[in-house]
Amino acid sequence: MRPVSLGQFNREGIQQVFNRLVEKITAYLAAITTDITALQAAVVVLQAAVAALQAAVATLQGDVTDLQWFAPRQITLVAGDESTNLGTFTRLGSGIFNADSAPAGTTYTLKAACQVDSGQTYEVRVYDLTAGAYLAGTISDNNTSIEIKTLSLTLGAGERAYELRAQLTTGAGGADFVKIPSAFIEVSS
């Protein structure tokens, strides 16, 4: 039997320990690399989910804005007034509205309760103070009892002030009148 040198044993033993360490470190690194790859894939999935949620939030914000307009609104123009002017429009009331805050497809309808003395005819119009011009359309009638009249309107963009104006178109004026106890612009979407 040949004697084994301590130096040779140490070299072989150290090499075996080193090789085992390298194997274990390699296995740990492989496991960590697998975990990192799985985490990177999970991050990509989460990023896609966040993008989908952001898109859903944007859609819901639009829906909330539309729901805020679900019920009809109104711009009150007058409550209980009359005009006795013949051939001259008289301001009976006013209101302010910003049409930019309304969703697309919003409609505007003037609703006015009107009556006139017997033998008289009246006209009612909406005047845009901001633009300095009448809106298209006129309500005209000779009803002697209160009737609710309607007129579709197109409002200008941005915040604007509107006036309800009325005049007698036939009659003597003075004691004759057009009476409008209530008028508003209904805002519907």
In this structure, are residues 183 and 171 in contact, taking their beta carbons and an 8 Å threshold?
no
Residues contacting residue 74 through CB under 8 Å, at least 6 positions apart: 184, 185, 186, 187
CA distance 185 to 95: 9
- The number of beta carbons lying within 10 Å of the beta carbon of residue 162 is 25
pLDDT at 81 over 70: yes
pLDDT at 32 over 80: yes
CATH fold of 73-188 reads Jelly Rolls (2.60.120)
pTM for this model (two decimals): 0.62
In this structure, are residues 116 and 177 in contact, taking their beta carbons and an 8 Å threshold?
yes
Give residue 77's pLDDT band: very low, low, confident or very high (50, 70, 90): confident
DSSP, residue by residue, 110-155: EEEEEEE-TT-EEEEEEEETTTTEEPS--EEE--SS-EEEEEEE-P
Delimit the domains of the chain by residue range. 1-68, 73-188
Bridge-based pairing of strands 73-83 and 178-188 is: antiparallel
Per-residue pLDDT reduced to its tens digit, 167-177:
988 876 567 78
